[in-house]
Amino acid sequence: MATEMTPHKRPRPRCSLPATILLAGLLLLQANVAAAAEKTRVFVTIPPQAFLVERLGGEAVEVFVLTDKGQDPHTFEATPRQAAALAQAHLFFTVGLPFEQTLVAKAQAANRAIAIHDSARGITRLPMLEDHDAHAGHGETDPHLWLAPANLRIMAKNMAAALTAARPGQRALFQRNLATLDMELAGLDRRLAADLAPHKGRAFHVFHPAFGYFAAAYGLTQKAVETGGKSPSPRRLAELVRQAKADGATVIFVQPQFDAKAAATVARGIGGSVVAIDPMAKEIIPNLAAIATAIEQALRQQTPGGGRGK
């Protein structure tokens, strides 16, 4: 007689509570690691801004610059490729240049999640140096506000706050780097003030009037060959030569973003030389130190009335 066999039941695998917790913890850790590994894509307008963001964010950020140091930011136009890349960014730090408005509108239309921040918020803007004859640029403000350490300190704080809002988990990193950067900028400001203090009230001569904030910070005056975006007339050139001689100038400072033929004409007229200084160089701390040294040396060589100092 056949006996009926009951099927053998295999025991169900059990998942212990500790193993479940461990698995959940591992998944959470992987998610955190992935999030930390994702760099924050940041677009800036000019190279000095990139310096600040990179100092603040370190390896946590990937920075893209719209204008190269050799380009004139006043006439810059973004390429379609740059505009498309900007639309993929997490943050865009503006600095107050006119062309940024169009880019902001395009970026927000393509990516509503992009955060737009004015890195110059809170900085008191100075009027742009006007043309002596035509008063060109009347009512406009000087956009070159990054050329003073005090302004850079404000910009760095604005950027650190925006980075923290975008990546709150990395707040400690941003704040630690901000403290270090702020200390360096404050030290630079004190050093430049001490070096230029003997020359307060003096004038230095430049091609393009990009150094208004620098001059104001240290009690100096800039006198420009080119204002209003156009080269001077022959009558204006002759007047500039007379002014430079009266100031005892021996140097005309030029910028690589502009054609400096008119500056060379003034330099020949005073028997002086042309010296290059770059307002757009990325390494802004050593660059400001170099600019101050060049201006201090030029002022030390000149005395009002056309004589030369020792």
Per-residue DSSP letter, 42: E
Q: Where are the alpha helices (DSSP H) in 7-46?
A: 17-37
pLDDT of residue 195: 97
Distance of CA 138 to the CA centre of its chain: 25
pLDDT of residue 291: 98
pLDDT of residue 118: 97
> What number of residues does the chain have?
310
Domains contained in the chain, CATH given: 38-119+127-192 (3.40.50.1980), 199-301 (3.40.50.1980)
Beta bridge partners of 223: 205
pLDDT of residue 35: 44
pLDDT of residue 10: 54
Q: Are 252 and 205 in contact (CB under 8 A)?
A: yes
123 closest CA partner among 97, 99, 153, 93: 153
pLDDT of residue 186: 98
Q: Are 263 and 252 in contact (CB under 8 A)?
A: yes
Measured CA to CA in angstroms, residue 279 lies from 13, 68, 151, 253, 254 at distances of: 70, 12, 14, 11, 10
Measured CA to CA in angstroms, residue 208 lies from 49, 131, 138, 310 at distances of: 21, 11, 16, 28
SS3 at position 80: helix
pLDDT of residue 72: 64
pLDDT of residue 20: 55
* C-alpha span between 130 and 211 (Å, rounded): 13
Per-residue pLDDT of the chain (310 residues; tens, 9 = 90+): 444 444 455 555 554 555 555 555 444 444 444 444 589 999 999 999 999 999 999 999 999 999 876 666 666 777 788 888 888 899 999 999 888 888 888 888 889 899 999 999 999 999 986 543 333 344 588 999 999 999 999 999 999 999 999 999 999 999 999 999 999 999 999 999 999 999 999 999 998 899 999 999 999 999 988 776 677 788 888 888 898 888 899 999 998 877 778 888 888 898 989 999 999 999 999 999 999 999 999 999 876 654 444 4
Per-residue DSSP letter, 211: -
pLDDT of residue 129: 67
Q: Are 158 and 111 in contact (CB under 8 A)?
A: no
pTM score, two decimals?
0.81
